Amino acid sequence: MLQIAQLTKTLLKNKALTFLASLSLCATPSLFLSPSAQAEIKFPVQEMTTKMKGRTSVPILLPSNFPSDRGSVFFEEKVNPQGYLINFTATPNCRATACRQGGMSAESSGMLTPPPPKSDSRSQYQTILLANGIEGQYYNGCRLYCTALVEWRYQGVLYRVTLKNGSLEDLQAIANSAIEGGSRSF
């Protein structure tokens, strides 16, 4: 009887370890970021434009390139007449926070992110200058994950790029590429 109890205890312990290991693997793409491993991924502009064309009334701004040190990146779009959202994910058909790496959105009635309260010492907030002299803002807020964003207005539409554990430089590069590419509503 003692052997069965020990075996059961070992199995339960191993299940817990397996579960913890699987959680850590899910978080790995966003935890180990190395500037030296930075690569430019070609953003699927034509594919995204084709999927979104005629389904939204806002100008479609998409970057030509996507700086990433996160390995494979998958792009999944959601579109409505007032805007769009393109999720950047570590796995296809991602439906969880752990595999979501960021996103790019446009909202015709979107509101800029307000500055964090002064008591929030973990957040960063600053006004930045983007391509074509467009003023934007950078915000990095930490909750479960640190999610950084750059947002700006163009033709009355709020555009936003977010990256989990993202740097100002990467977010600015994506935003500038989208602005310089102009409206892709062709």
Domain 41-111+122-181 has what CATH class?
Answer: alpha beta
Residue bearing tokens 């409505």: 80
Question: Which sequence spans correspond to the domains of the chain?
Answer: 41-111+122-181
Burial of 155 (0-12, 13-18, 19+ CB in 10 A): exposed
Q: What is the pLDDT of residues 109-126, one digit of tens each?
A: 899 999 888 888 888 999
Q: What angle do CA 98, 106, 103 make, to 5 degrees?
A: 20
Structure tokens at 154: 């163009």
Q: Return the SS3 of 136.
A: strand
Encode pLDDT of 12-60 as tens digits.
454 443 333 333 333 333 333 334 446 677 787 888 888 888 899 999 9
Tokens of 98: 């752990």
Full-model pTM: 0.76
Q: How far is C-alpha 38 from the geometric centre of its chain's CA atoms? A: 16
